[in-house]
């Protein structure tokens, strides 16, 4: 399975500003990008590491997926994002094998194309697949 790599770990937080007090202020990371993804009702902050990144996710609306996640489970790991060499082929394979996808491929934070795979198909982890470059 060459060409697959972890892109980022998505962490749901109540407040990006509060979370950055730890990640930047205490840990010493630097934010490389901040963005609002209107279709997902979320504010995003990306913190690069030497390999995968940390993505902080803050709800912009009370009915957003992140707000519902925090209400049900509290702050914490929301998803794992894996970069794939051919997203279209991966989506086709998953659909043919009966995996449950949560959306059709679409543009997200940073302009990448992604699809989410439901935790029921992945052993309990929300998985985001991203088109690699």
Map 56-123 to HEC letters: EEEECCCCCHHHHHHHHHCCEEEEEEEEECCHHHHHHHHHHCCCCECCCCEECHHHCEEEEECHHHHC
pLDDT-derived band at 71, boundaries 50, 70, 90 = very high
Task: Compute the average pLDDT of residues 117-130.
Answer: 96
Domain coordinates in residue numbering, the chain = 5-131
DSSP-based three-state secondary structure for 21: helix
Strand pairing report for 113-117 and 106-107: antiparallel
pLDDT in tens, 19-47: 999 999 999 999 999 999 999 999 999 99
Q: Is the pLDDT of residue 5 over 80?
A: yes
**According to the model, what pLDDT value does residue 1 have?**
52
pLDDT-derived band at 111, boundaries 50, 70, 90 = confident
pTM listed for this prediction: 0.92
**According to the model, what pLDDT value does residue 4 have?**
92
Q: Which CATH architecture has domain 5-131?
A: Roll (3.10)
């Amino acid at each position: 399975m060459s060409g697959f790599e972890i892109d980022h770990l998505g962490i749901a937080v109540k407040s990006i500003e509060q979370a950055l007090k730890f990640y930047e202020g205490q840990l010493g990371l630097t934010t490389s990008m901040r963005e609002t993804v209107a279709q997902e009702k979320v504010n995003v902050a990306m913190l690069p590491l030497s390999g995968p990144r940390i993505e902080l996710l803050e709800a912009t609306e009370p009915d957003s997926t992140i707000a519902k996640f925090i209400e049900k489970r509290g702050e914490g790991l929301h998803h794992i994002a894996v970069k794939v060499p051919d997203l279209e082929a991966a989506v086709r394979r998953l659909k043919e094998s009966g995996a449950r996808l949560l959306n059709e491929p679409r543009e997200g934070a940073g302009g990448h194309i992604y699809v989410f795979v439901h935790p029921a198909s992945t052993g309990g982890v929300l998985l985001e697949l991203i088109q690699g470059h």
